[in-house]
């Protein structure tokens, strides 16, 4: 599903290269894969996740989503791919505070033009899997951190993307909620055949994925 060829990424200060963030990255991620990018802080895992998700550009190399080379697309085309084919789970949740849980989960589906009946049915379905179906009328501010993260996962999954990219999804959760979230994401991976790629150094995530891709100093050192 994802093919990465000789990717390099720099961060700049003015015109000067300040940091060589990704170095000669070659990687393939298959359909339905449940995998983890891990390594110490600053190793490049979030940078690589953002590059895969077309959230950030690269300096050289190529990233393919199926047969499309992301770097050759216009920004409008990249936005369309993010909307229609990818789901994102961020550490900061990024829920819309003035929308209730049901509206937050259905937001991407609404942007994609699903009809209201289909949105309502799908929202109920994923909310039930993630055990937040009793919170659909609640605002995000009334939820616990674990519940807000489940809403973020539900929103990412609802529109049935081909791949979900999750950046430190357990960082703000205690061990009980981390386990519950990972169990639920595994269930979604298996039931819906959604590829899920995490970026995390959480030991519980490390112990519960099918594939571990270790980075250090911008390089893949083990897969």
Enumerate the β-bridge partners of residue 136.
none
Q: What is the pLDDT of residues 95-143, one digit of tens each?
A: 999 999 999 999 999 999 999 999 999 999 989 988 899 999 999 999 9
Lay out the sheet containing 60-65: strands in order across. 16-29, 2-13, 60-65, 68-69
What gap in Å lies between CA 169 and CA 192, rounded to an integer? 19
Question: Residue 127 CB: number of other CB atoms within 10 A?
Answer: 22
Q: What is the pLDDT of residues 165-192, one digit of tens each?
A: 999 888 877 888 788 888 888 888 888 8
What gap in Å lies between CA 176 and CA 52, rounded to an integer? 30
Tokens matching residue 43: 């190793």
CATH tag, 33-58+75-222: 3.40.50.300
Q: Which residues of 136-152 are buried (b: 16+ CB within 10 A; e: fewer)?
A: beebbeebeebbbbbbb
pTM comes to: 0.88
Domain boundaries, the chain: 33-58+75-222
For residue 49, the SS3 value is helix
Task: Give the pLDDT of residue 171.
Answer: 80
């Amino acid at each position: 599903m994802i093919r990465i060829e000789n990717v390099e990424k720099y961060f700049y200060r003015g015109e000067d290269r300040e940091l060589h963030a990704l170095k000669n990255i070659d990687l393939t991620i298959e359909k339905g894969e449940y995998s983890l990018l891990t390594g110490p802080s600053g190793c490049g895992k979030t940078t690589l996740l953002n590059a895969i998700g077309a959230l950030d550009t690269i300096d050289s190399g190529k990233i393919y989503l199926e047969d499309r080379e992301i770097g050759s697309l216009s920004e409008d085309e990249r936005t369309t791919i993010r909307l229609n084919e990818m789901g994102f789970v961020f550490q900061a949740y990024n829920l819309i505070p003035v929308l209730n849980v049901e509206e937050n989960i259905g937001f991407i589906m609404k942007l994609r033009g699903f009809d209201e009946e289909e949105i309502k049915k799908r929202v109920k379905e994923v909310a039930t899997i993630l055990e937040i179906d009793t919170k659909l009328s609640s605002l995000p501010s009334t939820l616990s951190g674990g519940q807000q993260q489940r809403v973020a996962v539900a929103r990412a999954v609802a529109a049935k993307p081909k791949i979900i990219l999750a950046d430190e999804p357990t960082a703000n959760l205690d061990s009980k909620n981390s386990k519950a979230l990972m169990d639920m994401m595994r269930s979604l991976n298996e039931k819906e055949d959604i590829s899920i790629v995490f970026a995390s150094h959480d030991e519980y995530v490390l112990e519960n994925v099918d594939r571990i891709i270790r980075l250090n100093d911008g390089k893949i050192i083990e897969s």
